[in-house]
Amino acid sequence: MTRKFFVCGNWKMNGSKKSIGELIQTLNTAKLDPNVEVVCAAPAIYLELTRSELDPKFSVAAQNCYIVPSGGFTGEISPAMIKDCGMDWVILGHSTRRHIFGESNEFIGQKIAHAQENDLGVIVCIGETREEKEKGITDQVIFAQMKAIADNVKDWNKVVLAYEAGWAIGTGNAASPQHVQQIHAKVREWLKNNVSEAVANSVRIIYGGSVRGDTCRELAAQKDIDGFIVGKGSLKPEFVDIVNAKA
């Protein structure tokens, strides 16, 4: 089965009206592989600006959401609000949310369920920390994350899984293509055994962790790597090279 390559630029807490406008101009005029689905995840305060100025061929994602439609939850945004402003996707379970803000597998599962109730596509992050990798419990950690995801997904057609090597994020040193391929293959096998073979074959599993223009092609060549979630690199001109990694 051919899975459409998927690249998400996660801008994180970066940008201004000026810099985001320049970035959007670069993307709107770049020569990009038409066979790649490209999503830009803007800070919440710039979501509508991004959607209004970015070419419609790109999708826009929120970087987080809460578990109810509305209420007294200062600083949060809901899937209903995200949809109301014209966005198609939300990132959930990012390592930032897990390890800085203390979100549990169960809480992330609740977010997935509520986002899907509002017809949002979900880019769900999984992955291990450096400490967990050194303890040799990567599989245990990732499979526990996967169970919480699978327990809450109603429509796998609107799910992209993002494996983040937490120990590589922001370091400039991506995990080796062989390591990433191995993890992705294990996740696909888990899906086959715990969800269905059809889902295992169709769901896209992308990689995040210091993806750069000079490392993306070897990663993209791996059988089970279906794209990237890109942080720092998505704010630079090299993002074009990353989107075109399979061209």
Angle among Cα 141, 202, 99 to the nearest 5 degrees reads 25
184 is catalytic: no
| Catalytically annotated residue among 94, 114, 128, 184 | 94
Which residues lie below 8 Å from residue 202, measured CB to CB, with a gap of 6+? 1, 3, 156, 157
Structure tokens at 67: 């578990």
Residue type, 210: S
Q: Which of 103, 114, 128, 164 is catalytic?
A: 164
Count of Cβ atoms closer than 10 Å to residue 74 Cβ:
4
Angle at 94 between CA 89 and CA 100, to 5 degrees: 140
Provide the greatest CA pair distance for the chain: 48
Q: What six digits make up the tokens of 235? A: 């704010």
Encoded tokens for 29: 């005029």
Pairing of strands 36-41, 59-62: parallel
Q: Is 94 considered catalytic here?
A: yes
Q: What backbone phi and psi angles, to 5 degrees, belong to 177?
A: -55, -35
- DSSP 8-class letter at 209: S
Q: Tell me which residues are annotated as active site.
A: 94, 164
